[in-house]
A and B are shown apart, each in its own frame.
Chain A
Amino acid sequence: MLLGDLSAAAQINIPTQSTRLKTAADRSGSTSQLGSSFPRIEGVGSRVIRAVAQMGGPGPRLIRTMSAAGCVGGSQNPNDLEAEHPTSLYPPDISSKGARFQYLYARRRRLSFSQYSSSLQGGRPLGEQAPPYGSLIRQLLDRDQLAAARQLLMTALPTQGDDPEIRALQVVLAVPTMRTSTRTDPDRSREYRWLARNAASHRHHWVAVEGEELVATGATLAELRARLRDLTPPRKPLIHHID
């Protein structure tokens, strides 16, 4: 939902790359510092991470860059964010969704310019609810952006680590834990040969095969395993469902 808001807002009033560069250049007299202040990061995931990470992380850097480009000090009405032209509040960063996120959040909450500026210097906007990290992370997961979701989770943990949803995400998204085991399994080449030859006769069934012999079949896995418990074959069979 929030990402959708950002996209919609971007269509309405987020300046184009060239516009922003020009605006910043007009104010700062140079464009060379812009690129060096914010190295461009490619990829949707990286930009989203950057977006929320900037809410708690490099706020001061954002402020410094905005100041350097003359974007902050030029306000004619410093207590009224709505009165500011959007381009005057944007950092001259052509790739930063973080600044857009922060700005739109402030607009939606009708923060004053001073509150907005303060919010850039650390953490969430003053007096407002916490960023919806859980929702954002789930949206990233729905878009199959695991790496981005993990990075956003790392951003959320310091402030929302007690949130049950964040804790659940921490469990699910943890890097797999691994260990080795000396317990091995027989070479199943013979079972594979049986499957290659006989699969057509057992379609839509679960089969348990040991060597080149069918041990049991079942319409459901539960049925098959119940039969295996009764049969107690000497060697554990290979289980497979034939489509």
Chain B
Amino acid sequence: MLKLGDDEFTIGRSKFFDQQLGAAEPTAKIFVKIIPRDYEEPILAQLDTGAAWSVLDSEIAREMGLLAGFGTPKELSTREGLKTGRLIRVGLTIPADDGQGESLVLDAPFFVCPDWPIGRTFLGYSGFLDALRFALDAPNYYFYFGQ
């Protein structure tokens, strides 16, 4: 997909979404597609290099059976105060768009917490983005990814 010299830098790309105009927080943010393990439909997760950890939406975590007390206890300081939850491995796919390279299947630590605000899934730096190669072609809304 993208080359760095003669080497492969990324393996695939997908369009990202950044205009959630009607939402409560309408400023532009980068949402990329992921497919959680056992899901067939893609969901949108916010790409956030400023977030220390990746966080999985609480309803998705519940559906995946991740709120049953597995993982390592952790406290996470957030804008909404201190959240007590757990770090747990979550399997997911970053799908490439059709004809735009290959998808990436990985498992990475996510923070899960029963009272996490609904609908907010973040791909944070520690343990997730720091293990990837990624790039943005912002004018064309492409998110490039690789390993």
Q: Do most interface residues of chain A lie in helix, strand or loop, or is the interface mixed?
A: mixed
Q: Say whether A156 faces chain B, with CB atoms less than 8 Å apart.
A: no
Residues of A within 8 A of B105 (CB): 178-181
B31 CB contacts on chain A under 8 angstroms:
240
Question: Which residues of chain A in 206-243 are interfacial with respect to chain B, using CB atoms and an 8 Å cutoff?
Answer: 206, 208, 220-222, 225, 228, 236-243
The answer to whether A239 touches B43, judged by C-beta atoms less than 8 angstroms apart, is: yes
Q: Which of B83-115 contact A (CB under 8 A)?
A: 87-89, 93, 95-100, 102-109
Q: Residue among B41, B71, B74, B119 with the most chain A CB within 10 A?
A: B41
Which residues of chain B are near A243, meaning CB under 8 Å? 20, 23-25, 117, 119-120
- A162 interface residue (CB < 8 Å to B): no
- Is A68 part of the contact surface with B, judged by Cβ < 8 Å? no
Query: Interface size of A by Cβ–Cβ distance < 8 Å?
Result: 50
Asked if A76 is an interface residue, CB under 8 A from chain B, the answer is: no
Q: Cβ of A242: which chain B residues have Cβ within 8 Å of it?
A: 20, 22-23, 119
The complex places the Cα of A156 from the Cα of B14 at a distance, in Å, of: 40
Distance in angstroms between the alpha carbons of A199 and B105 in the assembled complex: 30
A112 to B116, CA, bound (A): 50
Known: A176-B107, A195-B17. A184 touches B44 (CB 8 A): no
Q: Are B97 and A185 in contact (CB under 8 A)?
A: yes
Q: Identify B15's interface contact among A168, A192, A201, CB under 8 A.
A: A192
Q: Are B15 and A182 in contact (CB-based, < 8 A)? A: no
Least CB separation from A210: chain B residue: B41
| Residue of A142, A180, A183, A203 contacting most chain B CB atoms (<10 Å) | A180
- Which of the residues B24, B63, B108 comes within 8 Å of A225, measured between beta carbons? B63
If the complex has contacts A180-B102, A208-B41, are A144 and B33 also in contact, measured as CB distance less than 8 A? no
Query: Per a CB cutoff under 8 Å, which of A144, A175, A189, A198 touches B52?
Result: A144
CB of B15 within 8 A of CB of A141, answer: no
Contact of B96 among A174, A178, A185, A202 (CB under 8 A): A185
B4 CB–A CB distance under 8 Å: no
**How far, in whole Å, are A198 and B21 apart by their CA atoms in the complex?**
9
Query: Do B71 and A188 touch (CB < 8 A)?
Result: no
B71 proximity list for chain A (CB < 8 A): 168, 172
- Say how far A144's CB is from chain B's closest CB, in angstroms: 4
- What are the residues of chain A within 8 A of B102 when measuring CB–CB? 180-182, 184
Q: Which 5 A-B pairs have the closest CB atoms?
A: A241-B119, A200-B22, A199-B22, A185-B95, A144-B52
A residues contacting B by CB (< 8 A) are: 138, 141-142, 144, 146, 168-169, 171-189, 192, 195-196, 198-203, 206, 208, 220-222, 225, 228, 236-243
